[in-house]
């Protein structure tokens, strides 16, 4: 099937999904979860082929992300079941206005329509994304990287069987067959067919979407997250938070990449930081990349200019000294990707300046940036983390996969 044919299928499926009840959707999700488990052997078989083909062409870390097991498929199925348990966003009345003339205006949450997701080589994204899209009333079009395509096809087959067993159309979850760049471009410009495109991947993919997409698109992911240690910071708290934000899981987007320190506390703070993150760490000591002023206080690598614009995703931390909270805010707003930033301070004036002044999705006072996550924020799930300002900002849950329409009921009112 060509991508165009698949998009026509998706568009036609929209109206069918429109008339499906919340109960039917939930029972279909449970049926999809069962089908995943039932098809474990088939999925593992295709996954083995993907791994065989990919070996030697991608890194071991990527091979690990690609590899499925019975346990991982069970986890994917449990994930789908958990989505079934979440409250449905569909039909929620966001605001109700009754006018003097009796006209009732209800701003009502409704599905977007067709949600397309471009992702790379993690096969589990297939079932996660499909579950969230269907739960929120959307037809799901998936386009995965070529390394994971056989696995994704086996997973989608299972999910479609689950839909069919529940009496619904297989077309609610569709996988693009073409894995060349061409199909990504087709999705980006599928005006009238794709209601929302979510690119989940590296900087190249996101930039291609920003530049080429004519369909509505949400940028997700990249996080150059900062922590600013204010002059009034509790030093033990600051050490603890920086350690957590940098080292608890450096490969994720909410990990800290840049530390900004007020010069009035730097002489006391930085030597303790070096002790904690470098000298006393037996495994994975952090590489500190220091600006000129920090280098006068502790030893470390000399930071290059682009170290302050890099998502390391590794045990590396760029360190910059500033004179004031204002300078910290300016530096962060210039170099951040708008994901998550934190201030460590005991001064409520500095905290207020920081939370007002920082232009990012999540702004923390005295806590680790690592909390920026749909689950941690109480959304129950996550389709990605938006780093843009329109429609959705920060973790995207089910509500963010809906739009609204005004439903207005009258008895003959005219204007």
Could you tell me the two tokens for 152? 């994704």
Are the CB atoms for 225 and 257 separated by under 8 Å? yes
Nearest CB to its own copies, comparing residues 232 and 240: 240
Residues 6+ apart with CB under 8 A from 320: 258, 259, 260, 261, 291, 294, 303, 308, 331
Distances (CA, A) of 79 to 28, 126, 262, 368: 14, 11, 43, 26
- When asked if residue 251 is in the footprint of its own copies (CB under 8 A), the reply is no
Residue from 214, 268, 296, 349 binding its own copies (CB under 8 A): 214
> One symbol per residue from 282 to 321: x for binding its own copies (CB under 8 A), - otherwise; what is it?
----------------------------------------
Question: 169: closest CA among 179, 159, 178, 177?
Answer: 159
Nearest CB to its own copies, comparing residues 102 and 167: 102
Residue from 103, 208, 235, 301 binding its own copies (CB under 8 A): 103
3-class state of residue 301 by DSSP: strand
Q: Which stretch binds its own copies (CB under 8 A): 22-30, 152-160, 162-170, 327-335?
A: 327-335
Burial of 288 (0-12, 13-18, 19+ CB in 10 A): buried
Residue from 48, 237, 313, 316 binding its own copies (CB under 8 A): 237
Q: How near is the Cβ of 301 to its own copies at its closest, in Å? A: 26
Q: How near is the Cβ of 14 to its own copies at its closest, in Å? A: 8
Residues 6+ apart with CB under 8 A from 131: 29, 32, 79, 80, 83, 84
Residue from 368, 374, 381, 387 binding its own copies (CB under 8 A): 368
Residue from 42, 203, 296, 356 binding its own copies (CB under 8 A): 356
- Distance between CA atoms of residues 160 and 9, nearest Å: 14
Of residues 3-62, which lie at the interface with its own copies (CB under 8 A)?
14-15, 18-19
Residues 6+ apart with CB under 8 A from 154: 39, 42, 43, 45, 46, 47
Q: Bridge-partner residues for 305, per DSSP?
A: none
Q: How near is the Cβ of 38 to its own copies at its closest, in Å? A: 33
Nearest CB to its own copies, comparing residues 181 and 415: 415
> One symbol per residue from 167 to 206: x for binding its own copies (CB under 8 A), - otherwise; what is it?
------------------------x---xx----------
Nearest CB to its own copies, comparing residues 284 and 406: 406
- CA 346 to the chain's CA centroid: 31
Size of the site for its own copies (CB under 8 A): 69
Could you tell me the two tokens for 20? 């499906």
Q: How many residues does the chain have?
A: 415
Nearest CB to its own copies, comparing residues 81 and 331: 331
Q: How near is the Cβ of 318 to its own copies at its closest, in Å? A: 21
Q: Which stretch binds its own copies (CB under 8 A): 41-49, 118-126, 303-311, 373-381?
A: 373-381
Question: 131: closest CA among 180, 97, 168, 81?
Answer: 81
Q: Which stretch binds its own copies (CB under 8 A): 44-52, 285-293, 295-303, 350-358?
A: 350-358
- Distance between CA atoms of residues 140 and 31, nearest Å: 17
Q: Which stretch binds its own copies (CB under 8 A): 32-40, 173-181, 234-242, 261-269?
A: 234-242
Half-sphere exposure for 248 (CA within 13 Å, toward CB)? 14
Q: Name the phi and psi angles at 314, rounded to 5.
A: -155, 180
- CA 205 to the chain's CA centroid: 14
Are the CB atoms for 227 and 260 separated by under 8 Å? yes
> One symbol per residue from 132 to 171: x for binding its own copies (CB under 8 A), - otherwise; what is it?
----------------------------------------
Q: How near is the Cβ of 360 to its own copies at its closest, in Å? A: 7
Question: 118: closest CA among 215, 9, 225?
Answer: 215
Are the CB atoms for 343 and 365 separated by under 8 Å? yes
Residue from 127, 160, 337, 360 binding its own copies (CB under 8 A): 360
What residue ranges bind its own copies (CB under 8 A)? 14-15, 18-19, 97, 99, 103, 105, 112-113, 191, 195-196, 210-211, 214, 216, 218, 234, 237, 240-241, 243-245, 248, 329-330, 333, 351, 353, 355-357, 359-368, 370-372, 376-378, 388-391, 393-394, 403-415
């Amino acid at each position: 099937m060509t991508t165009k044919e698949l998009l026509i299928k998706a568009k036609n499926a929209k109206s069918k999904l429109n008339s499906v009840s919340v109960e039917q959707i939930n029972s279909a999700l449970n049926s999809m979860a069962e089908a995943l488990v039932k098809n474990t052997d088939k999925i593992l078989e295709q996954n083995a082929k993907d791994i065989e083909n990919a070996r030697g062409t991608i890194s071991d870390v990527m091979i690990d992300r690609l590899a499925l097991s019975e346990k991982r498929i069970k986890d994917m199925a449990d994930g789908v079941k958990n989505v079934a348990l979440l409250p449905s966003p569909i039909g929620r009345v966001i605001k109700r206005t009754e006018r003097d003339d009796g006209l009732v205006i209800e701003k009502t949450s409704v599905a977007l329509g067709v949600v397309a997701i471009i992702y790379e080589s993690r096969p589990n994204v297939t079932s996660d994304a499909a579950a969230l899209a269907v739960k929120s009333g959307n037809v799901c079009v998936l386009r995965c990287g070529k390394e994971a395509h056989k696995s994704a096809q086996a997973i989608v087959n299972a999910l479609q069987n689950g839909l069919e067993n529940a009496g619904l159309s297989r077309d609610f979850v569709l996988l693009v067959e073409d894995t060349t760049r061409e199909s990504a471009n087709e999705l980006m410009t599928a005006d009238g067919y794709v209601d929302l495109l979510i690119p989940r991947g590296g900087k190249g993919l996101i930039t291609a979407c920003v530049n080429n997409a004519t369909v509505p698109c949400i940028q997700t992911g990249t996080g150059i997250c900062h922590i600013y240690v204010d002059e009034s910071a509790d030093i033990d708290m600051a050490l603890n938070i920086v350690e957590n934000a940098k080292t608890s899981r450096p490969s994720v987007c909410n990990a800290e990449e840049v530390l900004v320190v007020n010069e009035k506390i730097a002489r006391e703070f930085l030597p303790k930081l070096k002790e904690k993150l470098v000298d006393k760490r037996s495994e994975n000591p952090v590489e500190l990349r220091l600006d000129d002023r920090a280098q006068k206080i502790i030893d470390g690598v000399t930071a290059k200019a682009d170290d302050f614009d890099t998502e390391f995703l590794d045990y590396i931390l760029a360190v910059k000294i500033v004179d004031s909270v204002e300078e910290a805010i300016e530096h962060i707003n210039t170099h951040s990707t708008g994901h998550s930033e934190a201030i460590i301070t005991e001064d409520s004036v500095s905290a207020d300046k920081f939370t007002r002044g920082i232009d990012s999705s999540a702004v923390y006072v005295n806590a680790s940036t690592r909390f920026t996550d749909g689950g941690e924020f109480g959304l129950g799930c996550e389709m990605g983390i938006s780093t843009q300002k329109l429609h959705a900002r920060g973790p995207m849950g089910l509500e963010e996969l809906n739009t609204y329409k005004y439903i207005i009921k009258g008895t003959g009112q005219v204007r």
